[in-house]
């Protein structure tokens, strides 16, 4: 399975999709609902949450995994 969770628009609904999975982890009427569910999953599994806008471009990324500090250069 991948290390990212995506919030994407599909028709009239927002879906929570995990990389490497064929099925959605959740389907919601509003983006904020999908973001909340995606955040819960990302925090529990230490993954990165990628939030897409209506047109598909990446709007925001949030990391809940093991981020090394300082980052590698």
Per-residue pLDDT of the chain (73 residues; tens, 9 = 90+): 578 999 999 999 999 999 999 999 999 999 999 999 999 999 999 999 999 999 999 999 999 877 777 766 6
- In DSSP terms, 65 is beta-bridged to none
**CA distance linking residue 59 with residue 68, whole number of Å:** 23
When divided into structural domains, the chain yields a total of 1
Domain hosting 19: range is 4-63
What is the pLDDT at residue 2?
Answer: 74
Closest of 42, 36, 2 to residue 22, by C-alpha = 2
| Cβ–Cβ under 8 Å, residues 17 and 25 | yes
In a domain, 53, yes or no: yes
pTM of the predicted structure, to 2 decimals: 0.86
pLDDT of residue 34: 98
- Count the Cβ atoms, other than its own, within 10 Å of residue 11: 7
Q: Would residue 73 count as lying in a domain? A: no
Q: Are 64 and 50 in contact (CB under 8 A)?
A: no
Per-residue confidence (pLDDT) for residue 6, from 0 to 100: 98
CA distance 67 to 9: 28
Is position 43 within any domain?
Answer: yes
In-domain check, residue 69: no
């Amino acid at each position: 399975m991948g290390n990212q969770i995506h919030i994407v628009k599909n028709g009239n609904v927002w879906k929570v999709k995990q990389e490497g999975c064929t099925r959605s982890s959740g389907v919601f009427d509003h983006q904020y609902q999908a973001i909340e569910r995606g955040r819960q999953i990302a925090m529990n599994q230490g993954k990165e949450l990628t939030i897409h806008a209506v047109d598909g471009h990446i709007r925001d990324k949030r990391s809940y995994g093991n981020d090394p500090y300082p980052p590698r250069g």
